[in-house]
Structure 1
C-alpha cells in the first residue's frame, strides 16, 4: 500500500478552496493511514490535526440506520411493517397531487424510512415546525417534532420514488419507541461505547469546542472547472452559527446530529467494513445484517429518481449508497462498497470485500461533493 496519491489529493483540495481536511483509513482492522492538510482555523492559521470536533451532518445517517438495524435484529420490527403500528400519528396520511391534497393509498413502511421512499421532504420552514416550536417553547424534543411532521402532506405516494428527506429523523423516533430509550442515549450505549468512540456526541458538552465551520458562498457558477480556477479563499467565509438541522436542545437528529472526530468515526467505519465487528471485537451488527444493509433496495423506477451525478452506478441500501454498476459509476471500488456524505464535507466509506474503511472530513458547507467525493473513492482504491 502506498498513500502518496491520497496525501497529494488532500493537499490539492486545501490548495484549492477547502480550508483544511483530515482522513483516517483502516485495512483489515488496522489503521494504515492518517493525514491532515491545511487549517482548522484559516484566519488564525491554526493547523489541522484531525483531533477537531466536527459537525458531520448526514454522515450521522449511517450510524442511525445501524442503530435501527440492531433493533431489527432483536425482532422489534419488520421492514415491511406499517410505520403507524409504532408511531400512530402516521396512520392517516395525505399526498400532494398538483393543487389538491388526497388521501394516501398506501401506508409508509419502515423500509420506506430506511430507503428514503416515504414521501417526506427536508423542508423545515413549514406549519408543522412552527407548531412544534410553539408546543415545546422552542426546545423541540424529537418526539413532538415528528408528531407535528406527520401532519404535513407527503410529496408523493409512499414507495413511489426516492427523495432525500427527514426519513432518518423519523427512524430515530422509531428507535426511541421500540427501545424505550432516548435516541442519543441509545446511540451512546449501543454504538459509541461498544466501539470506544469516546469523542462522539449528540449536542455539545460544555467542555467540547467545535472546530470553526466555513461556507463556500460562490453562487455564480455550478461549473466545477470554473470553480477550481478561482483563488482558493474566494467565497470561503467563517460561519457564525452551528448545525441548523438540530432544531432544538432536545432534538436528537437521526439525520444530522452527531458531533465527532475523524479518528472516532473511522472506528465506526472500520466496524462496518469488518461486517459489523469493531476494532475491539465488540459486535454491533451481524454479518448477515450488514449484507442486507448493503443490498440495493430500490426498484428501477425508484433508482431513476436518485439522480445525483455523484451517485451514478449506485443503488441505495438500508440508509447507504451501495455500488451496483462499476461501468456506470466509473468507480474502482468493489461492488457493494457503501457510504454517505455530509453537508460540511464528511464522507464515510466501508467495503466488506476489501475490508477497507475510510472517514474523511473537511468542515465547509457547500462542500463541493460532486468534485471531491468520487475522486476520493478512486484515489483510496488506487492506494491499496
Structure 2
C-alpha cells in the first residue's frame, strides 16, 4: 500500500479543518500505517503524539453492535425477538400518532429494530424519562434503570416503518447488560476489548484519562476566521475562510451519569486502541494473532443492508452516505455508482460527533480508524475523501 496521499490528507486536515488528528490502518489484521499530526491543544501548541484519549461518540456504536452480536452467536438472544421478552417494561410501549394520541404499535420493538435504528426512538436528552431517572438516582442514571425507563417515552412511528437516528444503541447496551448479568462496561471489556488487547478503551474518563485527553473543540462556521482566546501562532488548525474553533472542555454530554454506560456514544479511547477493533472486524472477526471476537457470519449479518429502498432514500439520506444502506449499526456501501466512492461494495463503518471515523472492508482486509476531537467536523467533506484515500492506497 502507498500511504503518501493519506499522509497528505491528514496534514491538510490538521492545517485547515481540525487542530490535530490521528490515523491508523490495518491490513489483514496487522497494523500497516500510523500517523499523527497537528496539535492536541491550540492553547498550548502541544503536538499530537498518538497516545491521546478522545471521546469517539457514535463510533462507539460499532463496538456496541459487535458485543451484542456475540449474544446472538451464543444463542442467548435472537435478532427478531421482541425487546419485551428481556425487558418487560417494553411490552406496553406506545406510539404517538400525528394527531397527538397514543396507541399500541402495529408490531413490537424487536432487538433488530434497536440494532438498525428502526425502533421509533429519538435522541432527546431532555426527555421526561431521563429527568425522572436523574432525579431518582441523584444523577447517577444506572444503565439498566435508564433502559427500562426509556420504554415510557412514546415512539415516533411504528417499529420497522422508518429509520431514525436515536438512542437505540443505548437501549441495546442496556439489554446486553440485563441479559448477560454484567454491567455493560464490564461485559465489553471482558468479551471484546481485552481479547483484542484494547487496554485503553473505557466508558468513563477519570483524572488519568482526562490528563491525556486531547482538548475538545467545536467548529463555528461563521466565516470570521477568528480562533477564540488564542494567539496568531496558535491558529494552525483554523480554516480562515469558513470559521473558527472554540474549546468546549472535555465533557461528553451523551453520558447521562456516573453509572450510565452509553452504547451509542460513550467510549473514550486512543487511536491505537480502537484501531485494533477496526482491524479485527476487517479481518473477518479476528486479529493477526488469531484471537476471534466475532464470526465471519455475524459480520456478514452486520453488514447486510436492512433498509427498504423507500426507507433508505427517504430517511437514510445524509449527504456523506449517498449510495449506502444501513445494517446492524453500520453504514454499508451498496451502490458505488450512487455513492461515487472507490470503496468496495460491502465497505462498512460509522462516524462520531467529534470527527472519528471507522472504515472497514472484509474482502480486502482493510480496516482504518481516523480520529480528531472537533465537534461539528463537516463530515460531508472529510468522510467520503477519507474512504476514497484508504482504498485508493491499495497497490
Smaller-chain TM-score bracket: over 0.9
Q: Report deviation, 1:134.
A: 1.0
Which residue of structure 2 lines up, in the alignment, with residue 106 of structure 1? 107
Which residue of structure 1 lines up, in the alignment, with residue 31 of structure 2? 31
1:341 aligns with 2:345: no
CA RMSD of aligned residues (A): 1.6
Between 119-128 and 205-214, the greater mean CA deviation after superposition: 205-214
2:391 to 354, 360, 381: 381
Q: Report deviation, 1:267.
A: 0.4
Q: Report deviation, 1:14.
A: 1.4
CA contact (8 A) 1:297 1:317 kept: yes
Which residue of structure 1 lines up, in the alignment, with residue 232 of structure 2? none
1:272 aligns with 2:281: yes
Within 2, Cα distance between the matches of 1:41 and 1:347?
20
Which residue of structure 2 lines up, in the alignment, with residue 244 of structure 1? 253
Q: Report deviation, 1:232.
A: 7.1
Which residue of structure 2 lines up, in the alignment, with residue 140 of structure 1? 141
Count of aligned residue pairs for this structure pair: 378
Q: Report deviation, 1:110.
A: 0.6
Which residue of structure 2 lines up, in the alignment, with residue 202 of structure 1? 203
Within 2, Cα distance between the matches of 1:172 and 1:219?
37
Q: Report deviation, 1:229.
A: 10
Within 2, Cα distance between the matches of 1:362 and 1:230?
15
Go from structure 1 to structure 2 and tell me whether the alpha carbon gap of 1:51 and 1:233 turns closer, same or farther (over 3 Å shift).
farther
Which residue of structure 2 lines up, in the alignment, with residue 314 of structure 1? 324
| Offset from partner CA, 1:26-72 (integer Å, 9 cap, x none) | 11222111111110111211111221011000000000000000000
Within 1, Cα distance between the matches of 2:223 and 2:207?
39
Within 2, Cα distance between the matches of 1:241 and 1:332?
35
1:281 aligns with 2:290: yes
| Offset from partner CA, 1:225-283 (integer Å, 9 cap, x none) | xxx99517942011124100000000000001111000110000010001111232111
Q: Report deviation, 1:349.
A: 0.9
Within 1, Cα distance between the matches of 2:161 and 2:222?
32
2:263 to 238, 246, 254: 254
Which residue of structure 1 lines up, in the alignment, with residue 375 of structure 2? 365
Within 2, Cα distance between the matches of 1:51 and 1:279?
22
1:128 aligns with 2:137: no
TM-score (norm 2): 0.93
| Offset from partner CA, 1:175-215 (integer Å, 9 cap, x none) | 01111110000001011100001111111234222221111
Go from structure 1 to structure 2 and tell me whether the alpha carbon gap of 1:100 and 1:171 turns closer, same or farther (over 3 Å shift).
same
Unaligned runs of 5+ residues in structure 1 are 222-227
Which residue of structure 1 lines up, in the alignment, with residue 87 of structure 2? 87
Partner-residue secondary structure (3-state), 1:156: coil
1:211 to 210, 214, 238: 214
Structure 1: 4+ residue segments shifted above 3 A: none
Q: Report deviation, 1:126.
A: 1.6
